[in-house]
Amino acid sequence: MAAMTLLVTLVSPAAPASAVDYPSWQDLQNAKANTASAAAQVTAIENLIAGLQVQVQETQAAAEKSANELEVAQQEFDDATRRAEDIQTQADASKATADAATKQAGQLAAQLYRTGGTDLSVNLFLEGQGDGADADLLLAKLGNMSKLVERSSDVYESAQSATNNAQSLGDQAKVAQTERETLRVAAEAALAAAQAAAEAAANALAESEAKGIELEQQLQFMRDAQATTTAGYEAGVAERARLEAIRVAAEAAAKAAAAAAARANSGGSGGSVSMTGWAVPASGRITGGFGPRSVICNGGECSGSFHYATDLGTGCGSPIYAAHAGVVTWAGVLGTYGNFVKISHGDNVSTGYAHIQNGGYNVRSGQSVSAGQIIAYSGDTGAANGCHLHFEVWIGGNRINPVPFMADRGASLG
């Protein structure tokens, strides 16, 4: 019921944002000629800017809520998968034991039948007519047969017990698999809802930034006692765009230089692409393996008790590389992951990269990437102790151990 409630909650559509009537430049020039109208226009623009900021905060909060629900749903699904697999393994082992015990009981029954093919009391009477040696021999046979009967009963009871246990475990496995399927549906719905919320937040932010620049300029125009022209405004926008492009190019060059230095210092392991087209996602030794571990809490976020990933000790600001060619399906904050990137590689295979440093994204959702391409820079956001890469591999929605998976593809971790 909880899983189905979560599913219904996740697929409920969010309310669309209402359209806003922004002032035109002609509106401002007309208003500026009138002192009272100018003051009212300034207030209106200030309210619009404040409204944009509120809209972004609300959509980002909704995206964060959906991301947290996704993480919980994924955790419950993976835990249910492990439970189902464990129970199935026990059921298979118990079935093998039951089959062996049943076979042994059958062999003993056949031996008992061959030994006691005639009526014992008749044999005892007939053979007892001879000398004492015959009677002793018959009693010895009877004793052996009694032991055989006793042993057969023990084996039969053991076989019956093993069969019942196998049946019970099999029934439990079916229940666990049903639970797993319900949670799988909930996890898929959570992913869809989280992706939609993240996309809405990104669009709201982009719209806010684009409109905010214009509104700020309009506000400055209205506050300026001198009659600023539209042409001057447009020239200023162009100059700011030019300076921003220079700044972005400088940052990209600095990141590329840092990546080259990190690769040189690590012997070039991070980002190196194998013959199969898979790449080592980061340089550094393995600092955390796939399996049970202690809970990690940081900044109010706590991890689960099972680690569905392999940690690589990259160091802060080190480059993170796409493990294989694919399409980015997530690039944003995701609960205890902190800043997180997920890439779909096709054939139900995906990889995830967590704890990226703030501002460390090198890709966006929907972008195609190649194997070995720098997608981000490592940090310690989310539930992390120190800068590192938390690397995950999904097969059909289940997170698996990345170490053997990557080794099979010639891109060994660590």
pLDDT in tens, 152-171: 566 666 666 767 776 776 67
pLDDT of residue 232: 57
Is residue 408 predicted with pLDDT exceeding 90?
yes
Q: Which helix (H) or strand (E) holds 83?
A: helix 35-115
Average pLDDT of the chain, as a whole number: 73
Options 3.20.20.450, 1.10.357.10, 1.10.287.1490, 3.40.50.300; CATH of 22-114+144-226:
1.10.287.1490
- DSSP assigned state of 279: B
Domain extents in the chain: 22-114+144-226, 272-408
Arithmetic mean of pLDDT, 31-46: 66
Where is average pLDDT lowest: 3-7, 137-141, 154-158, 204-208? Answer: 3-7
pLDDT (average), residues 189-208: 72
235 falls in which pLDDT band (50, 70, 90)?
Answer: low
CATH 3.30.70.100 corresponds to the domain 272-408: no
CA distance 253 to 263: 15
Do residues 263 and 271 lie in contact, with contact meaning Cβ atoms separated by under 8 Å?
yes
Q: How would you class 132 by CB atoms within 10 Å of its CB: exposed for 0-12, middle for 13-18, buried for 19 or more? A: exposed
pLDDT score recorded for residue 225: 52
* pLDDT band at 247; cut points 50, 70, 90: confident
Share of the chain above pLDDT 70, in %: 62
Q: What is the pTM of this model?
A: 0.57
Q: Which amino acid, one-letter code, is at 113? A: Y
Question: Hey, is 333 helix, strand or coil?
Answer: strand
Region 304-331: mean pLDDT is: 91
Domain 22-114+144-226 and domain 272-408, same fold? Reply is: no
C-alpha distances out from residue 29 to 41, 51, 226, 227, Å:
10, 23, 12, 9
Q: How confident is the model at residue 13 (pLDDT cuts 50, 70, 90)?
A: very low
The pLDDT of 333-342, averaged and rounded, is: 89
Mean of pLDDT values over 338-348: 92
* Contacts with 371 (C-beta within 8 Å, 6 or more apart), sequence order: 273, 277, 278, 279, 321, 322, 323, 324, 325
- Of 351, 364, 360, give the one whose Cα is nearest residue 324: 351
